[in-house]
Amino acid sequence: MRRCRITIALASALLPCTATAMAVEIDGRIDPGEWAGAHEFTDFRQTQPLTGAPASHATRAWVMATSEGLAVAFRNEQPPDVPRTRQWVQRDFDAQVDRVNLMVDFDGDGRTAYNFTVASTGGIYDAVISNENQFNDDWDGLWTHAVAEDDSGWSVELLIPWHIAPMRDGRDGMRTLRIYLDRVVGATGERSAVPLATYERPRFVSEFQPLEVTAYSQSLLAVTPYVSGLYDNVGNAASASAGADLFWKPSGRFQLSATVNPDFGQVESDDLVVNFSATETFVSDKRPFFTENQGLFELTTPSDFSQQLYTRRVGGPADDGNGAGDITAAVKLNGNFGAVKYGVFSADEGGDAGRSFHALRVVRDFADQNLGAMLTRVERPWLDRQADVLGVDHNWRPTERWNVRTRLLGSRIDQAGTRNEDFGATLWADYEMDGGWRQQWIAMHFGNELQINDFGYLARNSVNYLHWELRRRFADQPEDSRYASKDWRWRAATSHNDRGDKLNDQFRVSREGRLRDGSYEYAQLNVNSAGVSDQLLRGNGIVRLPPSFSAVYEYERPRKGAWAHEVELELSSGGLAGNDRLGAAAFYGATWFISDAFSLNAGGTWIHRPDWLIWQGQGNLVGAFRGREVRLRAGLDWSIDPRQELRLKLQAIGIDARVRQAWRFDPMGHPVATADPVEDFGVRNLGFQVRYRYELAPLSHLYVVYARGGYEQLDDPDGAGGQLEDSFRLRDDEQLLVKLSYRFGR
């Protein structure tokens, strides 16, 4: 573990005023003399299950401000009869292991917080938290940590530098943070925290505990150049690329990020998706420039994944259809004037089809509410198009029980001499009652001509949606119950497009269960009324659909001994057949831990779609297919040592679709059988990657990546299993990439 020496300058106003300066070594071993005068937390309370009872195992934490950053220590008692998870984990892990979390809202305004997680084996996870409880782990910060253990427990020390995030100046030499500390016992899944808050509630970040500390200012100048070489084994061609990211933070109230020819993430492997629907697949962004200081630009709505600024648009598919856009440069500024925060984002792509992306963000925070606005513009000369979007977001916490979020969006699109304007609005209200009861109301309106996808992401426009949800949490289960807690939800929803057509009404009931052995269980039933689809025909009319339903069950069992397991089951209906034909899906996955550092995983999915409706690319012609799909995933994870890791990831998909009937639709959306030719088809898809990573220094890496993949659609399928088997012969792409990046900074 990297060690550093830090000097305690002045403890917070909450600390004894007799605190003196002394050195703290970030080595995981908590020396009482080093932490003398720090603010101590001992009253950890159970939040999973959310009983509020004292933690089952004693946990203590210390927090103090130093000139080098916010220093935090945890002491976690763990007797021998409680198994310790010794599994090595990679960065941004998602595994049920012993761990601690520090979450900090540096401005104390409830808008944005940062999560720092350390596992008992030294692995880390970090994320940005926005909209109270939305975590985004695409961001990777530079911070110091160390772990130590003994017979009675284990300890963690962290140092979070002040330049890690934008923050306002203090007042009279002091600043008020809000912090949250928790500890998770991997063997049982129990989480205990200070304060008594949970991300499972609508209000989370705004319930962090205030802590007044000395206001330090810290600067950073970091440059991360990269060079990469790529050999294309299919085209027998080699290429090289180079670029750099710059991060300059002269103080907390002003930070600049810039990039030249940024890497588009060749070392990352996105999950395979075969999508025949009209809804675009959302993909997250791992590029360092686009994740650094990005929390301020979060402006989302309750619609799934929707956001006004979706960074994957920059460098996405080019407007002329020739590959991805070539990003020449981009810059981002974050700062504040008093209580007003601002952000500026600008990026340009090269070439005749190059686009320009611009955003201006302003937010103002008050005691129980905050207000923000963002203006974005995208210039697309290849399409003779300019897209302007204005968003306004307001978060209001009128009482301890209420949390209300409103969003307004307006778009103006100028293309080829024609202008279209429209707007959208959303309201999201949560009410916390006694006895574990909660209520939620969501209302959304998106106009027919609202268009934010030049820079943002919105699954669909032209919708009016309303739902009411009642929830009940059962946190106190009998001692002999296999469940630690249960959470029931009942929802009634209605949805219409903005032309007056009812999309559907829906009733949903779901139950989330957390088991005493750390396992997780989820079940959900959706009952849908008859309605219409106005997207299937891509603007060529509507399709009337009969009632349908879906039932889902999920179970995750964390590692016990050498194995971990996952199961998902689904039974559903749909298409024009409605409830007359039932579809089904099943998934099983397992991970075998050969050692704490080496594991193999594999999983298989089978899907049956009895009435799969697929638009045929012209007019209102639709094919109804009997679809079979099988998916295979497999992988290997080897943490060779704290600096080296090897990862193998394989995904393959085989689809067999046999046409049942070809349909067209009358002006009212009723199906009319037709003899127009619609062919059976099959799909085979492969993604395979082997990645070696060596950490030269924090946020500095050498990558060696071999990748191979392909996609093929054909008219003479030989069964889903045959398509899956044939996918292993695909070789549309086969590449070897070597990339070196090194961060220089002070």
Distance CA 390, CA 374 (A): 6
Taking residues 25-47, report their average pLDDT: 93
Q: Tell me the per-residue pLDDT of 723-735, one tens digit each, with 9 for 90 and over.
A: 999 999 999 999 9
Structure tokens given for 590 = 């397992």
Residues 112 and 188 in one domain: yes
pLDDT of residue 23: 58
In DSSP notation, 629-686 reads EEEEEEEEEEEEETTEEEEEEEEEEEEEEEEEEEEEE-TT--EEEE------EEEEEE
Whole-angstrom CA distances from 367 to 104, 339, 400, 498 are 18, 11, 13, 37
pLDDT of residue 95: 92
Residues 144 and 258 in one domain: no
Distance CA 4, CA 24 (A): 8
Distance CA 591, CA 631 (A): 17
Residues 405 and 330 in one domain: yes
The upper half-sphere exposure of residue 409, i.e. CA atoms within 13 Å in the direction of its Cβ, equals: 32
Residues 328 and 444 in one domain: yes
Name the range with the highest mean pLDDT among 10-14, 171-175, 321-325, 537-541.
537-541
Q: Are strands 369-380 and 220-232 parallel, antiparallel or unpaired?
A: unpaired
Structure tokens given for 340 = 């007003």
Estimate to the nearest angstrom the gap between the alpha carbon of 599 and the chain centroid: 24
pLDDT of residue 295: 87
Distance CA 89, CA 121 (A): 8
Q: Which residue has the tokens 């049920």?
A: 96
Q: Tell me the per-residue pLDDT of 152-200, one tens digit each, with 9 for 90 and over.
A: 999 999 999 999 988 888 888 899 999 999 999 999 999 999 999 999 9
CB within 8 A of 484, min separation 6: which ones? 48, 49, 188, 189, 190, 477, 514, 515, 516
The upper half-sphere exposure of residue 637, i.e. CA atoms within 13 Å in the direction of its Cβ, equals: 16
Residue 179 lies in a domain: yes
Number of domains in the chain: 2
Q: Tell me the per-residue pLDDT of 649-679, one tens digit each, with 9 for 90 and over.
A: 999 999 999 999 999 999 999 999 999 999 9
Give yes or no for residue 5 having a pLDDT over 60.
no
Residues 240 and 207 in one domain: no
Residues 287 and 138 in one domain: no
In three-state form (DSSP H/G/I as H, E/B as E, the rest C), the secondary structure along 34-58 is: CCCCCEEECCCEEEECCCCCECCCC
Residues 258 and 199 in one domain: no
pLDDT of residue 8: 32
Residue 112 near residue 124, CB atoms below 8 Å: no
CB within 8 A of 588, min separation 6: which ones? 565, 566, 567, 603, 604
Distance CA 336, CA 362 (A): 9
Residue 623 near residue 678, CB atoms below 8 Å: yes
In DSSP notation, 304-343 reads TT-BS--GGGTT-B-TTSSSB--EEEEEEEEEEETTEEEE
Residue 586 lies in a domain: no
Local confidence band at 12 (pLDDT 50, 70, 90 cut-offs):
very low
* DSSP 8-state class, residue 84: P
Q: Locate all alpha helices (DSSP H) within 364-424, ordered by sequence.
A: none
Residue 482 lies in a domain: no
Q: How many helices (H) and strands (E) does the chain have?
A: 2, 43
Residue 368 lies in a domain: yes
Termini Cα distance of the chain: 19
Residue 613 near residue 575, CB atoms below 8 Å: yes
Give yes or no for residue 344 having a pLDDT over 70.
yes
Could you give the 3-state DSSP secondary structure of residue 67?
Answer: coil
Nearest to 214 by CA among 33, 59, 70, 422: 70
Distance CA 113, CA 377 (A): 27
Residue 380 near residue 355, CB atoms below 8 Å: yes
Bridge partner residues of 173 (DSSP): none
Instruction: For residue 194, give the amino acid letter.
Output: V
The upper half-sphere exposure of residue 499, i.e. CA atoms within 13 Å in the direction of its Cβ, equals: 13
Give yes or no for residue 460 having a pLDDT over 50.
yes
Taking residues 114-128, report their average pLDDT: 96
pLDDT of residue 628: 97
Residue 100 near residue 79, CB atoms below 8 Å: no
Q: At 132, which CATH number?
A: 2.60.40.1190
Residue 71 lies in a domain: yes
Residue 195 near residue 206, CB atoms below 8 Å: no
Residues 177 and 207 in one domain: yes
pLDDT of residue 273: 87
Give yes or no for residue 7 having a pLDDT over 70.
no
**Mean pLDDT, rounded, of the chain:** 93
Instruction: For residue 402, give the amino acid letter.
Output: W
Give yes or no for residue 223 having a pLDDT over 90.
yes
CB within 8 A of 205, min separation 6: which ones? 103, 105, 110, 111, 112, 113, 129, 132, 133, 178
Residue 589 lies in a domain: no
Residue 419 lies in a domain: yes
Nearest to 648 by CA among 707, 596, 590, 696: 707
Distance CA 731, CA 746 (A): 45
Domain-terminating residue out of 432, 459, 486: 459
Residue 240 lies in a domain: yes
Residue 255 near residue 249, CB atoms below 8 Å: yes
Residue 744 near residue 223, CB atoms below 8 Å: yes
Distance CA 419, CA 440 (A): 37
Q: Where in the sequence is the domain holding 93, given as residue range(s)?
A: 5-216
User: In this prediction, what percent of the chain has a pLDDT beyond 90?
Assistant: 85
Phi, psi of 316 (to 5 degrees): -80, -170
Distance CA 114, CA 189 (A): 22
Taking residues 545-568, report their average pLDDT: 97
Whole-model pTM above 0.85? yes
Residues 312 and 452 in one domain: yes
pLDDT of residue 266: 64
Give the alpha-carbon dihedral of 694, 695, 700, 705, to 10 degrees. 20
Residues 178 and 41 in one domain: yes
Domain-terminating residue out of 459, 481, 508: 459
Give yes or no for residue 16 having a pLDDT over 80.
no
What is Dmax (Cα atoms) for the chain?
89
Residues 187 and 55 in one domain: yes
Q: How many residues make up the chain in this entry?
A: 746
Q: Tell me the per-residue pLDDT of 367-382, one tens digit each, with 9 for 90 and over.
A: 889 999 999 999 999 9
pLDDT of residue 716: 83
Domain-terminating residue out of 408, 430, 459: 459
Residue 315 falls in which region: left (phi positive, over 0), alpha (psi -120 to 50) or beta: left
Q: Which helix (H) or strand (E) holds 701?
A: strand 700-714
Residues 157 and 243 in one domain: no
Q: Tell me the per-residue pLDDT of 513-547, one tens digit each, with 9 for 90 and over.
A: 999 999 999 999 999 999 999 999 999 999 999 99
Distance CA 325, CA 316 (A): 6
pLDDT of residue 537: 97
* DSSP 8-state class, residue 288: H
Structure tokens given for 148 = 């130590």
Local confidence band at 285 (pLDDT 50, 70, 90 cut-offs):
confident
Residue 321 falls in which region: left (phi positive, over 0), alpha (psi -120 to 50) or beta: left
